[in-house]
Amino acid sequence: MSNVAVLESPAGRFTRPMSAAVCLRELHLRGARRLVRVAFRANRSTIWSLTQNMTVFNLHEAYRVAPPDIVDALAVIAHGRGRRTAAVRQASAVVRAWPGLVHALDQVRTPAPGPTRDDAGRGSGAASTHCCATPQQRAYLQMLYLYVNRTRFGGLLPDGAPVRLSRRMRSSLGHMLPGYDRQRGRFVAEIALNADLMLAGNGAVRFDTLIHEMAHVADYLFDGVVGHGTTWRAWARFAGCRVETRYDRPFVRRRRAEEPTTRVPPLPPGLLATADQPRPTTR
C-alpha cells in the first residue's frame, strides 16, 4: 500500500510527505533515471550527496515535503551526477535556500529555547523570539486567527499556529515560516506580522495580511508549497483574499522603529468572545 495519501484541496489534488520510493519515481520522471535508490536522512549539515557510483541519492529528510520546483532542482543535481556545472550549481543553490530546509536545519542545530524577553522589554514566557506583542495583543491575535480560520478557511487550519508581532519588519507586512520534522511532518513554525498593523487606521490591511499569511499556511500544510504560485492563489481566492503580492493601500507607520506599539484593536463585530476565551482590552 502506498505511503502517500491523496486528498482534495481548493487548489486540486495534493499529497502528504513522500516516501523514498515515491521520491525516486518523481526524480525518474524528471530525467534522473540512473538513480536506483533515494535515502532520506536526518543530517545536521549534509543537504544531499550521491553515492554508490552516483546511483544513490541521499537527501535531507526535510525534502520529503519538497514542492515540485524543489524536486525539479533535485532532479537536475541527480541527472548531472553532482558535477559542478552551471546548472547543478544553480540547482544546488535553489534546494539549499528552500525555507522548509532552512527551518529544519535551524531546529536540529539550535537548542530548544526557554522563556525569553520580547523586544519591548517585557517577559514573554514564550519560545518565540523577537515578539514585541503584549499579553493582550497576543490574546487578540489568537482570537483573530481563530475567527479567520472558522469564517474564511472552514476550520481547516490548526488552531494552535503561533502568531507574533515584529518591530523589525521594514518593507514586508508579514510572513509564514514553514517547519518539518519526522514526528509532526509539516507544521507552521510561526506567522509573524508587522507591529505597525496594530496601529489605528490599519484595520483593513491587518485583516488582509493575516488572511494572506493563513493562505500560505494552507498552501504549505496541504499542498507542500511555499510561495505565491498557483496553489497559493487558489487558497487566497478560497478565503476571499487579494492575490496581489504588493499592497497598494494606505498604511500607517510608526514615526520611529523603536517606538512601542501597545494598542489592541477592536475585534470584528462577528467575533463573540466566550467565557473561557481571554478578552483583550482596547487602548
Model confidence pLDDT, tens digit, residues 126-156: 334 467 888 899 999 999 999 999 999 989 9
Burial state string for 208-229 with b = 16 or more CB within 10 A and e = fewer than 16? bbbbbbbbbbbbbbbbbbbebe
pLDDT in tens, 158-187: 988 899 998 877 778 888 888 877 777 888
pLDDT at 123 over 70: no
Sort strands 174-181 and 37-41 into parallel, antiparallel or unpaired: unpaired
Pick from 13, 31, 29: nearest CA to 21: 29
Q: Is the dihedral of CA 191, 19, 181, 67 positive or negative?
A: negative
> Cell triple for residue 203?
484595520
- Whether residue 36 has pLDDT greater than 90: yes
Separation of alpha carbons 152 and 278, rounded Å: 22
Per-residue confidence band for 108, with pLDDT thresholds at 50, 70 and 90 = low
Cβ count near 99 (within 10 Å):
17
Residue length, the chain? 283
Nine-digit cell at 193? 506580522
| Over residues 28-53, mean pLDDT | 89
pLDDT in tens, 225-281: 888 888 888 999 999 988 876 666 778 887 776 677 888 888 877 665 433 444 444
6-109 — its CATH code?
Answer: 3.30.2010
CB 46 within 8 A of CB 268: no
Q: Is the entire prediction scored with pTM above 0.85?
A: no
Whether 10 has a pLDDT exceeding 80, the answer reads no
CA distance 82 to 84: 6
Structural domain spans, the chain: 6-109, 114-283
Alpha-helix runs per DSSP H in the chain: 20-29, 68-79, 86-97, 99-109, 135-152, 203-223, 230-238
Q: With a cut of 60, say whether residue 64 has pLDDT above it.
A: yes
Weakest mean pLDDT among 28-32, 61-65, 137-141, 154-158: 61-65
Residue 113 in this model has a pLDDT that exceeds 60: no
pLDDT of residue 247: 64
